[in-house]
A and B are shown apart, each in its own frame.
Chain A
Amino acid sequence: MKLKKLTALGTAAVMLACMAGCGTAAEEESGFSVAMITDTAGINDQSFNQSAWEGLQEFSKASGVEVNYLESKQSADYVTNLERLGDSDADFIWSVGFDTADALVEVAANNPDLRYAIVDNSYEDTPDNVTGVVFKAEEPSFLVGYIAGKTTTTDHVGFVGGIENAVIRQFMYGYEAGVSYAAKEMGKEIQIDVQYAESFSDAAKGKAIASKMFSEGCDIVYQAAGGSGTGVIEAAKEAGKYAIGVDRDQAYLAPENVLTSALKKVGKAMSIVSEKVMNGEDFGGQTLSFGMAEECVGIPEENPNMDPAVYEDAMKIAELIKNGEITAPATEEEYTAFLESLK
């Protein structure tokens, strides 16, 4: 009898504590606030989710705006997380990753008064309260491909992808085009090996594939493979060859073996858009594209392992891309057409 009472008391105590939490929702009008949800890769994926959050944090520091995030563990979390953010006092909600596209459409339709944006996705029919933000990842990839082509001494380079999808294909075709362009410039043939790790989280697989490429004669391997890609960089470190990083400056992983990185400044683009929305602009129903011209993709300024002459040449190519004289391909058709134009 006593124990039953105790249990009842205990359960009641726990419930009271929870209810107490419910009561403290005094909404403070604290001004503009921005929030984001990650896709299932998580906030610490050392790739675009992390870049997105870092960008938002910088934006917060610079403008005093409150920022927060919700991490999604499964694809079914996208809707629930977006809804939860909608309940909080966030004024502008970011949905990071093309995986979240369908969930966002549903939530945006349910909450027509809230404003959303999505990273890495362009809809055929963008809802009125959603802004699509895409990146021309083929542009920095073209640049690093060009650099690889100019730097290789064995005329043999490689590319390791995570899992094949539209975004990774941007990286791949852009890179291949850059290598081909450099090859044409120097009047020689450069072989490009391509292999997929079928995972964004198997570093050992990435390392094994890169080791194979290095032992077959490649001296530079570019990776767009997330967690598997760190294995590629590791292989370069151990083989004494070069790797090219992606999304963020990955030189810190192997200071002597990372030639350069193809930067996709997700955070910067998000800051730009968030600031404009905060100042009253409305991009609902549109897709914004960020490339070199907008300074949201590129390569790091400091590349200790790169030949300064190659860097100079690369900057000239960057200008050509910015003013439209070179259009980096992002799909198979565009790449085939690009190769034709080189002939």
Chain B
Amino acid sequence: MLNSVTLLIAITLMYSTPMVFAGLGNLISEKTGVINIGVEGMMTIGAFAGAAVCYFSGNAWLGFLCAGLAGGMLAVLHAAASIVFQCDQTVSGIAVNLIGPGAALFICSLLFEGATSTQPVSDKIPKIFGDISAEGILGNLNMDVTVVIAFLMAAGMWLLFYKTKWGLHLQAVGEHPAAADTLGIKVNRLRFGCVIASGVLAGFGGASVTLGIVSQFTPITIAGQGFISIAAVIFGKWTPHGAYGACLLFGFAQALTVLLGGGESVIPSQILAMLPYILTIVMLVLFVGRGVAPKASGKPYEKGSRT
């Protein structure tokens, strides 16, 4: 019994961690009013960069940081398009989702002799309890350190938004940029920085998969987690704790699918696989309902405009 419970916790956290990173990334961008649906692409390039750097350098943390860097660089494209060129943010998000994986696979094939997967890394993200045996309760709960980092990031973002001056500025920029401007807040500069931050976070999310869950990058490592994280942000009503909770819920449903499956299960495997998605919709209907995006979401800010 206890074994199952600890297993449930471990799988939940494993599944949700990449989504938490990407979700927080999406959140920080959206909070300042820039729609960022390109997190999937940023996750992918981060996943690749992390695995590649770790393979060549032998250091997982270096890989993790470079993953964030890669995601941030890709985000510059989105930031430039949305803020400088004031284009449709959804379109540039889609562009990022196409360019990110394309670039990742392309560079991978250059670095790894035509293969679109990296070689497995030998140094992965360390576990919480170190190299203990995998038996028993402690063994089950011995998860990647990125799980803890994700939680800290979420908590940190909560503090940022609700307990600091910076956070108030961020939210003001997202709700009423003209008013924020009159207060001397540099709207576009703040937005630009936050979009880059969102890329960095998404990159971390990608690395948490290729350096934590598995130990290599393949074309299918990131397949939909970015979009689910966007859903999580909306589910969580654009708050850090809401997004974190939504990611946990989703990871929990996946964990249930794994634990309920297997030879003895009566429920067909494919129906069980639908569980996380059905559960999300049910929860939305029962508990969440309407959510409101930041008011200035999606609208480029022009100095001197009224809104």
Contact surface of A with B, Cβ cutoff 8 Å: 42, 44, 46, 164, 193-196, 198-199, 201-205, 207-209, 211-212, 214-216, 227, 230-231, 234, 237-241, 252-254
Contacts and interface: CB of A to CB of B under 8 A. Distances in A.
B261 A207 contact: no
Given A44-B219, A230-B218, A234-B213, A205 B258 contact: yes
28 contacts: A44-B115, A44-B219, A194-B262, A195-B261, A198-B270, A198-B272, A201-B220, A204-B15, A204-B213, A205-B258, A207-B214, A208-B14, A208-B15, A208-B255, A208-B258, A209-B258, A211-B7, A211-B140, A215-B140, A231-B214, A234-B213, A234-B214, A237-B215, A239-B134, A240-B133, A240-B134, A253-B120, A254-B120
Contacts of A46: 117, 218
Contacts of B51: none
B260 to A, nearest CB: 10
Nearest to A42: B219
B259 interface: yes
Nearest to B213: A204
Interface of B: 3, 7, 10-11, 14-15, 115-117, 119-120, 127, 133-134, 139-140, 209, 213-216, 218-221, 223, 254-255, 257-259, 261-263, 269-270, 272-273
Contacts of A205: 254, 257-258
A214 B262 CA distance: 13
Chain A interface mostly helix, strand, loop or mixed? Answer: helix
A204 B14 contact: yes
Contacts of B216: 230, 253
Given A204-B209, A212-B7, A194 B258 contact: no
A237 B258 CA distance: 19
A153 B22 CA distance: 42
A195 B270 contact: no
A254 B120 CA distance: 8
Contacts of B120: 252-254
B66 to A, nearest CB: 21
A208 B127 CA distance: 16
B134 A214 contact: yes
